[in-house]
Amino acid sequence: MVEKIRKSLRDSAAARWTALFIVSFTMLCGYFLTDIMAPLAGLLEGQLGWSRADYGTFTSSYGWFNVFLLMLIFGGIILDKLGVRMTGMGAAAVMVIGTAIKYWAVSTVSLEGQSLFGLDAQVFWASIGFAIFAIGVEVAGITVSKIIVKWFKGKELATAMGMEMAMARIGTALALGFSIPIAKATGVIDVSRPILIALIGLCIGLIAFIVYVMMDKKLDASEDTGEIIVKNPEDEFRLSDIGKILGNKGWWYIAILCVLFYSAVFPFLKYATDLMVNKFGVKEDLAGLIPMLLPFGNILLTPLFGGIYDRKGKGATIMIIGAVLLIVVHALFAIPGFNSWIFAMVLVVLLGIAFSLVPSAMWPSVPKIVPEKRLGTAYSLIFWVQNWGLMGVPLLIGWVLEKYCVTGQTVRDGLTVNTYDYTLPMLIFTSFGVLALLFAFLLKAEDKKKGYGLESPNIVK
């Protein structure tokens, strides 16, 4: 056993951090596409005639196939059965296919004026492409989580997960900050141009994952001692293990905390640029730069908080602090009189701190609650629960804006668009934070009862 540990490739710091960087780059490309449309809501309304309800429908399509066709759950089962290499390659390829459909839908003029199933044809096909992409990016996410556990278990696990999330947030930041400038780059507005850039990036991300596959093969070879290992049937994943996961109260608390917390952040980012324009009076070309501060804060803070969890523990406590910050930020966003762009920047930075605290402790806590043989399925089920929020909340916010929050019309860049009051949507986001805080306390109580070790360090000395 000592000889096996000595020869393992993951004991090389350079090797495991290189593997982390490669798979994180693939996720960066995925998150760039995920949020590329977020700053374009106004341009979509002015150029393509999309209403906020249409935009909400498109954004909610992220969860259509993952939720209703259970693709995330199947993805987790495939991951536990076939391993990270085949699952990751398939997920990266699906991201490319879905993005290609989305680009075609937004760029083609042949769909203009048509409708399908009661939706504008461009909205419908862009949503189908986004829904297919979402299968790939979500399965890639659970695959990368299992890859990190494979390389970093007993080592800098939370730090590594924090670094991966930080790189993914770079993709979000680039999308929020540069989507509108890319769309206007040639002097002629083209909302499909940012999607094309994202498609090229995803092709590069697929190539990067192929490089990781070769590293993963070397890792397995380095841990092959030549001994004949008799597998215990109890160690293999079975469909009945899904029931064991769903019967775990600690898993449920993390899953519900996840959907509540992410529902208060990712859907907010989908509308944050529009919020900056409508409430804080920021020019549309610059409005995306303020929400961009949130993911850039993640880049610095998520690995930092992950390192604290690795060395000092206090995972459940970190999640509680993050939920409190989430409530404070969204409640302050909801106050009508606070409309200074400097105030908005401060709140976004605080939201970035909250968004660093909770995920840095939440994702590394799952392996403490669920056995490794069920880990892929456990993560996929959490992502499935999360996707209910990522699907439903943008749809809800779009409907609320269209129904209750229109305050008038204005002309931007020669395009006539509606203006909106975001007070009610921000109160909705605040309510998610309150519920997230409740479940963070329940998780801490369950940890104390069951002894999962969420308050203990991850690094084994």
**Where residue 1 falls among pLDDT bands split at 50, 70, 90?**
very low
Cα distance between residue 60 and residue 390, in whole Å = 7
The helix, strand and coil proportions of the chain, stated in percent and rounded to the nearest 5, come to 75, 5, 20
Confidence of residue 235 (pLDDT cuts 50, 70, 90): low
Which CATH architecture best describes the domain 12-220+237-450? Up-down Bundle (1.20)
**SS3 letters for 19-85?**
HHHHHHHHHHHHHHHHCCCHHHHHHHHHHHCCCHHHHHHHHHHHHHHHHHCCHHHHHHHHHHHHCHH
Q: Check if the beta carbon of residue 377 is closer than 8 Å to that of residue 242.
A: yes
Query: Picking from 238-242, 257-261, 322-326, which range would have the lowest pLDDT averaged per residue?
Result: 238-242
Question: CA 44, CA 49: separation in Å to the nearest integer?
Answer: 6
Q: Is residue 266 very low, low, confident or very high in pLDDT (cuts 50, 70, 90)? A: confident
CA distance from start to end of the chain: 17
Taking residues 189-213, report their average pLDDT. 94
CB 122, CB 228: distance < 8 Å: no
Continuous segment of H or E residues that includes residue 116? strand 115-116
362: pLDDT strictly greater than 70: yes
Q: Looking at the predicted structure, is the pLDDT value of residue 278 above 70?
A: yes
**Closest to 63 in 3D by CA, of 445, 293, 334, 391:** 391
Calculate the average pLDDT of the chain. Answer: 87
Per-residue pLDDT at 227:
52
Residue 173 to residue 266: CA distance in whole angstroms: 12
Angle of CA points 387, 84, 175, to nearest 5°: 50
Tell me, what's the pLDDT at 5?
43
Residue 6 has pLDDT above 70, yes or no: no
The band of 360, judged by pLDDT with boundaries at 50, 70 and 90, is: confident
Tens of pLDDT, residues 286-316: 888 888 888 777 777 878 888 888 888 888 9
Question: What is the Cα–Cα distance from 93 to 210, expressed in whole angstroms?
Answer: 11
Q: Return the bridge partners of 416, or none.
A: 411
Q: Is residue 339 scored above 60 in pLDDT?
A: yes
Give the residue with greater pLDDT, 232 vs 358: 358
pLDDT digits (tens, 9 = 90+) for 73-116: 888 888 888 889 999 999 999 999 999 999 999 988 777 778 78
User: What's the confidence (pLDDT) of residue 229?
Assistant: 46
pLDDT at residue 242, rounded to an integer: 83
pLDDT > 90? residue 457: no
**Greater pLDDT, 374 or 334:** 334
CA distances to 241, 383, 399, 406 from 376, in Å: 11, 11, 35, 44
CB 362 within 8 A of CB 256: no
Residue 262 has pLDDT above 60, yes or no: yes
Q: What is the mean pLDDT of residues 56-63?
A: 89
| Separation between Cα atoms, residue 63 and residue 125, nearest integer Å | 15
HEC letters along 395-442: HHHHHHHHHHCEEEEEEECCEEEEEECCHHHHHHHHHHHHHHHHHHHH
Residue 68 has pLDDT above 80, yes or no: yes
How much is the pLDDT for 4? 44
Q: For residues 307 and 315, give the distance between their C-alpha atoms in angstroms, rounded to a whole number.
A: 11
Per-residue pLDDT, 280: 93
Reported confidence tier of residue 359, pLDDT bands at 50, 70, 90: confident
Specify the residue for token string 């949130």: 294
Whole-angstrom CA distances from 133 to 32, 94, 99 are 12, 6, 6
Tokens 């278990």 correspond to 153
Quick check: 460 pLDDT over 70? no
Q: For position 48, what pLDDT does the model report?
A: 81
Look at residue 344 in the predicted model and tell me its pLDDT: 95
- Per-domain residue ranges of the chain: 12-220+237-450
pLDDT tens for 184-200 read 887 788 889 999 999 99
If one counts every other C-beta atom within 10 angstroms of the C-beta of residue 185, the result is 14
CB 373 within 8 A of CB 175: no
Record the tokens describing residue 106, joined without a space.
């937004």
At 185 the pLDDT is 85
Q: What is the pLDDT of residues 136-166, one digit of tens each?
A: 999 999 999 899 988 988 788 888 888 898 8
